[in-house]
A and B are shown apart, each in its own frame.
Chain A
Amino acid sequence: MNPVRVFESVFKRGDLRVAALVLFVAVAACDRSPAPITLTLVPASGTTPATIRVQGLSTPEIAAVRAASMTRTGWQQMFALTVSGNDALPVTGEYIVDSDSLEFRPRFPLDPGRKYRVRFDTSRLPVPRADGVITTDVEVPSAAAGPVTRVTGVSPTGVWPENTLRFYIYFSAPMSRSSALEFVRLEYEGGQEVKEAFLPLDVELWNADRTRVTVFFDPGRVKRGIRPNVELGRALISGRRYAITVDAAWRDAAGHPIAPGFRHEFAAGPAEERPVTPADWRIEPPPTNSTNALVVSFPWTLDRALVQRALGVAGADGNPVAGDAVIDQDDRHWRFTPAQPWRAGAYSLVVLSILEDPAGNRVGRSFEIEMFKAPKEEQKERVLVPFQLK
């Protein structure tokens, strides 16, 4: 229900009552001094965010406000919340007439730690008071700081091919929406920044709980023959050492800076331009009647996130085998532990063709292919690599 609408309907039915109330309030004011008006912040409670309350109005004054047909602008001229120091326009919200007070509910919860100014102009009451404009400053307390959020690692972890297209940064807790590129830096071994290394996006690529961000190298510098590649060269050069650093000014989701000092040093290696070829992987069959892990080893590092999604095991009937999988820290070994013991028979490793390595080479297709010379082969959604358990 929209409270303002309620007041409008009351006005239409109650012109006479409004006149009577105005008279009553005027008469009552002759008899005794009105209570002082106070403006207070009502702290948040449960799921109800903080509100601003006006108290000290008499019951007839409240009733007069209720009966008056005040527009949104009229309300804001009488009773406004603004951001302190930034107060040309009032904060948007709903006005509530309670039994003994007026209340303002901001449309968006007030920011903890930010100062706001409440302004109440008593001359704008339906029956004006001579108290003038009352103001007060309010502030929602900042939440107590929890454990400091830190960078827990990056992927890939080993040697990075010089045509690496993307990497991931992992955090111990959810992060803010700030742009990653303001805080992530690629350095040469000596600490000098490698400029214009990353792809500037106007969207941020996080996982659902904002604990993993994807950072892309500028593909224009990665792809051979493109002007940035020709003019600037690749950001990574095989044989050199680099570091990824993360600035502690990056805020976590609670608004606190992260732990300082994260630095991941790595070496760049030769470009990886081969397509991902599951037939070349080494499969170590586990013993039957056991729940030992099936171990699949890749000849080079694959994309950690995609490996977790794009690999599975199917039984002879083609149905998925239930189980849990982990990828080793080096992103080159995938270990699948079945929920039920292995049986003798035929199985298949299921590989979705979306699987890529960090340089963007997909299953059966390199990141860069000579245009119009590439065979028009059908890309299948999945590739099966059969194996037998005896």
Chain B
Amino acid sequence: MKIGLKLALVLGVAALTVSTQIAARPAAMVPAGPAFKAIGPLAFGPNGVLFAGDRDAASIYALTLGSESAGAKPGTAEVAGIDQKIAEVLGTAAAEITITDLAVHPQSHNSFVSVMRGQGANAQPALLRVDGAGAIQVVDLTKVTFTSVTLPNPPAANPSGRNDPRTQTIMDLAYVNGRLFVAGLSNEEFASKLWSVPYPFATTDRGTSIEIFHGNHGRLETNSPIFSFVSYNVAGQPTIIGGYLCTPLVKIPVSALKPGEKVMGTTIAELGAGNRPIDMIVYSKDGQEYLLMSNTSRGVMKIPTAQFATAAPITASVGGTRGTFETIAALQGVEQLDLLDTGRSILIVKTATGRNLTAVVLP
């Protein structure tokens, strides 16, 4: 009897609970947030805004990450088999994912990794965060606010024709003094174009394309694109340090990058042929500043930046290399590179068995 009373009482509560608290089944997820077709490269800008390139759409999204800026623990812990673990979280196999970039949040020091999940028509972009405990979480892009801008495509000469529109992709990007600089590469012409757009993005100014020349090998390299670049103050002047194929290092003062201008960059080092730069960071150690640059076939180079102001422009063919640099033998297979904190860099390193997220003391 006592049980019966309790049961009746509880049933009443339960009925009340059911009638008032079981919500209607939510409808299918409505896509919100930035509509990436592809994601990467990445670069953090002012106030923790994350610039994320969409290589398929030739667009740049400026993401305000809000609550997604940090995981449970600040910093980034090393993660062995990062590609395998990201694949697990995304519900697929490691062979199905492509890591497109790595960037460290300036405040939380969590690492953000951009990934394409899938190789086929169903490929989808994903942004993941690795925190100081090594926890890997998919950033919920529906929770971030954003603005975006798209690289303008040049008009066709025959606007009424059935053209197969040119596409262009994004090689690298960096924020410098209120402007975002983007190195682009088209699937048609092989030109060196640096695109400059003010940030915050404005509908009235979609930026401008700047054609950059640089001297090399006694020839005018009109048609080689920048593959990686950073901004750096050379003799007090904000300057783009750009890495090209085969591998000249070129400086271009930001003040010279005016809309519509054609600019001649200055080649300040030759770092070796048969090579392409991947990533660059600038850091300080023992009172000196250095550029750390990862490459496709010439390892990771440590380049003292003091020479950037004083190096004589290279205007003739160079046999071998020119400029002072040191190749860091311990760093092999580096595919992604960013500055983790003042003393360490964070890397994604390819090994025989997979890829590792590894923190190393700056050389």
A interface residues, Cβ below 8 angstroms from B: 1, 3, 6, 10, 14, 17, 20-21, 23-24, 27-28, 47-48, 59-60, 62-63, 66-67, 81-83, 86-94, 96-99, 105-111, 114, 116, 165-166, 174, 176-178, 196, 199-203, 205-208, 212, 214, 216, 219-220, 223-228, 231, 251-255, 303, 305-306, 308-313, 320, 322-325, 336, 339, 350-352, 354, 356, 360, 362, 365, 367-372, 374, 379, 382
Contacting residues, chain B, for A370 (C-beta < 8 A): 218-220
Instruction: State the main secondary structure of chain A at its contact with B.
Output: mixed
Contacting residues, chain A, for B28 (C-beta < 8 A): 47-48
Task: Jot down 29 A-B pairs with beta carbons below 8 A, ordered by A.
Answer: A3-B26, A10-B21, A23-B10, A24-B13, A47-B28, A59-B14, A83-B91, A86-B93, A89-B89, A91-B90, A94-B29, A98-B25, A106-B91, A108-B124, A116-B91, A177-B118, A177-B120, A220-B246, A225-B317, A227-B319, A306-B188, A309-B156, A324-B162, A352-B156, A354-B191, A356-B188, A356-B189, A371-B216, A371-B218
Chain-A contact segment, one of B80-88, B102-110, B344-352:
B80-88
Interface size class of B (residues with CB under 8 A): 35 or more
Q: Are A371 and B121 closer than 8 Å at their CB atoms?
A: no
Contacting residues, chain B, for A23 (C-beta < 8 A): 6, 10
Name which residue of chain B comes closest to A28, CB basis: B7
CA distance A336 to B97 in the complex (A): 44
CA distance A108 to B6 in the complex (A): 45
> Taking the nearest CB of chain B, how far is it from the CB of A173, in angstroms?
10
Contacting residues, chain B, for A28 (C-beta < 8 A): 7
> Taking the nearest CB of chain B, how far is it from the CB of A77, in angstroms?
15
Q: Are B91 and A24 closer than 8 Å at their CB atoms?
A: no
Instruction: State the main secondary structure of chain B at its contact with A.
Output: loop
9 new A-B pairs (CB below 8 Å) besides A83-B93, A322-B160, A356-B190?
A20-B13, A27-B10, A91-B91, A96-B26, A111-B118, A203-B169, A223-B217, A360-B223, A362-B189
Q: Are A203 and B185 closer than 8 Å at their CB atoms?
A: yes
B interface residues, Cβ below 8 angstroms from A: 3, 6-7, 9-11, 13-14, 16-18, 21-23, 25-26, 28-29, 55, 84-85, 87-94, 96, 98, 116-124, 126, 136-138, 154, 156-167, 169, 171, 185-191, 215-224, 245-246, 262, 273-274, 276, 278, 296, 315, 317, 319-320
The 5 closest A-B pairs by CB, nearest first: A312-B157, A312-B158, A227-B273, A253-B121, A24-B10
CA distance A367 to B14 in the complex (A): 79
CA distance A94 to B26 in the complex (A): 11
Q: Are B165 and A208 closer than 8 Å at their CB atoms?
A: yes
Q: Are A374 and B220 closer than 8 Å at their CB atoms?
A: yes
Q: Are B18 and A59 closer than 8 Å at their CB atoms?
A: yes
Contacting residues, chain B, for A324 (C-beta < 8 A): 160-162
CA distance A176 to B120 in the complex (A): 4
Contacting residues, chain B, for A99 (C-beta < 8 A): 22, 25
Contacting residues, chain B, for A351 (C-beta < 8 A): 157
Q: Are A309 and B188 closer than 8 Å at their CB atoms?
A: yes
Contacting residues, chain A, for B158 (C-beta < 8 A): 309, 311-313, 320, 323, 325, 336, 350
Q: Are B154 and A352 closer than 8 Å at their CB atoms?
A: yes
